[in-house]
Chain A
């Protein structure tokens, strides 16, 4: 007689966490009504961090693709928005269209870079970020190092703009969390984790590795571009050196590594931690950034599972786990 195994479902903790997350995001939606402008701006930044961390974790944690060049998409979306606004499109639609336009670059790019070996992929993405930055700086609109402000957005009522940007950010984070959850829980999640653990073996059991990696790459790029547009909408000034800066990658690495690489809740926790650390130590400037690097190294060496790994330990009862567990029928 054969035993019929089935895939494990959600635990009590998982559903509680999901409900709590939904309530929190809903609260953030009504917050602009009561909160001060400073709080709204900070929360927008937090949302941008969550979005970046979730996107980077999709790539590194679930598909095993470490990229040091995701700032390509952050910077490029800002540039596209700038160009669209210059072409006479209203700022808010331009922010949305700019994010989508980046996929036109990301798609052909994925055909090339995903064929590279792991470490090469990381640095090649960085070179691509630098290449695109130099190209963008050729555009007189950007004014080289000086950068340019999104004038039309500045002309909007400041409070209204803040509220809209926060709402858009909360919406983007909700969509990102739900989409990545559904993607990873489904077939793609299993396939991508198989690729991360052993690409050759995954290919040999019939997984179209390139297609899976490309899907993840594009979804992750989209997350970064939306984050880039949101960041431009809240910062208003666009400077190529900041927008394409390597610091984005350092932040993403920090959030994901400290939160928990390859776990669903990890990047959110990491984003909260980065945000908190920045609030407390941000004034120390370069020493603060150096500290981030050191903490990231320590986590990589001594707690590669991040905070989530430290909490759950070896019990394998990770909250909202994307692991496929088999459950034997009762009796």
Chain B
């Protein structure tokens, strides 16, 4: 549709940008819990995505199986999943963390495999969705000037992301528990010396992380379809958003999620396959850039490090030539 407001060529581009930004909200909810875990507990829960799927499947069972209204189902599921996160930390991770930094990662891989396959055993292989339970919200959209369509659900999810991240920010800053979590993430030993219960802070962080993952999982099931094996992909997206946004920063996660969402939807203009690939490539580029900056920071700025590197290698080269002569 030709439009005076937006040239026809630009319309899909703007559409992709808007959709990508909104998609980023979903990734941010998924990622902010992971970021909290990385900061406080210092390892990456590889079953994070599977927790999201578990939350979604619980809500699906409560609504479609027991006939509860969806809002009530979410309100029941969230504390259950948060409790699961608390218990998971108390039962599994604390013990694993005593055995060094390798074991927690290994435990979460095992946990992921156990969760995915048990969910497959319990819920079967069918794709499931919450789309039918939210009525018109799943497809309704607003039309912006220029013919850009904005889905109502993505807007809701994105607003929810801002709300979640904002309140997490406030909790971390202004409550006793939040300050304990922050202190533990900065320096657990020093925090303990100051009377902070680091163990409690870690358990709480784990509960928040799993609860938020489950909330994200519900949104995922509202937007589209899920299977018991959807988790690993969500973990990868969350991890990418965390790394792009910068480790340990709550608002950075929102930025990371939006960057990831925009890259994916721009890639989606080419093809479905290219969408995921673009996301991965942007992530790898950010990672490379960060490594390069860490490298230069360790050598006194990038100019100095490049000069040092070339001098070093020129020296080596000259020596080798000398040996030959």
Where the two chains meet, the residues of A that have a C-beta atom closer than 8 Å to any C-beta of B are 60, 64, 66, 68, 112, 115-116, 118-120, 122-124, 126-128, 130-131, 134-135, 137-138, 144, 246, 249-250, 253-254, 257, 261, 286-297, 300-301, 304
**Minimum CB distance partner of A251 in chain B:** B113
B97 to chain A, nearest CB (A): 11
Quick one: which of B37-63 are within 8 Å of A by CB? 38, 42-44, 46
Q: How far is the CB of A297 from the nearest CB of chain B, in Å?
A: 4
Contact A130 B117 (CB under 8 A): no
Pair A127/B283 contact, Cβ less than 8 Å: yes
- CB pair B96–A301 under 8 Å, yes or no, is yes
Least Cβ–Cβ distance between B270 and chain A, in angstroms: 11
**Chain A residues with CB under 8 A of B295:** 115
Establish whether residues A289 and B117, one from each chain, have CB atoms under 8 Å apart when the complex forms.
yes
How many residues of B are in contact with the other chain, CB < 8 A?
A: 45
Binary CB contact string for chain B from 88 to 109 against chain A (1 if under 8 A, 0 otherwise): 0000100110010111011101
With A134-B273, A286-B117 as known contacts, state yes or no: A127 contacts B280, CB within 8 Å: yes
Q: Assuming A290-B113, A293-B113, is B284 touching A131 (CB within 8 A)?
A: yes
A241–B121 alpha-carbon span in the complex (Å) = 21
Selected from A64, A118, A131, A287, the residue in CB contact (under 8 A) with B117 is A287
Chain A residues lying within 8 Å of B111, measured Cβ to Cβ, are: 293, 297
The yes or no answer to B287 lying at the interface (CB within 8 A) is yes
The residues of B that contact A246 with a CB separation of less than 8 Å are: 232
Checking B109, B236, B287 against A112 with a beta-carbon cut-off of 8 angstroms, the contacting residue is: B287
Cβ-defined contact, B114 with A297, below 8 A: yes
Considering only CB atoms, which chain A residue lies closest to B240 in the complex?
Answer: A127
Chain B 113-154 per-residue mask, 1 if CB under 8 angstroms from chain A, else 0 = 111111011000000000000000000000000000000000
| B243 CB-CB contact with A under 8 Å | yes
Interchain CB contact under 8 A, B273 and A296: no
How far in angstroms is the closest Cβ of chain A from B110? Answer: 4
Give the docked Cα–Cα distance between A242 and B114 (Å): 19
> Which one, B103, B116, B117, contacts A300 given CB within 8 A?
B103
Question: Which residues from chain B contact A135 at a C-beta distance below 8 Å?
Answer: 277
Give Cα A301–Cα B93 distance, bound, in whole angstroms: 9
Residues of B within 8 A of A68 (CB): 46, 109
With A119-B44, A122-B44, A300-B107: A290-B121 Cβ-Cβ less than 8 Å: yes
Given A119-B38, A301-B96, also A66-B107 (CB < 8 A): no
The DSSP consensus for interface residues of chain A is: helix
Q: What CA separation (Å) do A301 and B99 show in the bound complex? A: 8
Q: Which A-chain residue is minimally distant from B287 (CB atoms)?
A: A124
Interchain residue pairs with CB less than 8 A apart (8): A115-B294, A119-B43, A123-B236, A290-B120, A292-B110, A292-B114, A297-B107, A301-B103
In the bound assembly, the distance between CA atoms of A21 and B276 in angstroms comes to 46
Q: Are B106's CB and A253's CB within 8 A?
A: yes
Cross-chain contact A131 with B280 (CB below 8 angstroms): yes
Kindly report which residue of chain A lies nearest to residue B281, judged by CB atoms: A131
Q: Which of A64, A118, A137, A250 contacts B113 (CB 8 A)?
A: A250
Which residue of A130, A137, A289 is within 8 Å of B280 (Cβ)? A130
A-B pairs, top 8 by smallest CB distance, nearest first, are A293-B114, A293-B113, A296-B110, A290-B117, A286-B120, A131-B280, A286-B117, A289-B117
Interface pair B96/A64, CB less than 8 Å apart? no
B239 within 8 A of partner (CB): yes
**In the assembled complex, which residues on chain B have CB atoms less than 8 Å from the CB atom of A289?**
113, 116-117
Interface: B304 (CB within 8 A): no
Nearest Cβ on chain A to B252's Cβ, whole angstroms? 15
A138 to B121 Cα, complex, angstroms: 32
The CA of A144 and the CA of B273, in the complex, are separated in Å by: 10
**Does B102 contact A60, Cβ atoms closer than 8 Å?**
yes
**A127 contact set on B, CB distance < 8 A:** 236, 239-240, 280, 283-284
Q: Which of B42, B46, B280, B281 meets A122, CB within 8 Å?
A: B46
Chain A residues with Cβ below 8 Å from B114 are 290-294, 297
Q: Is B112 interfacial (CB 8 A cutoff)?
A: yes
Of the candidates B92, B121, B277, B280, which one forms a contact with A297 in the assembled complex, judged by CB atoms under 8 Å apart? B92
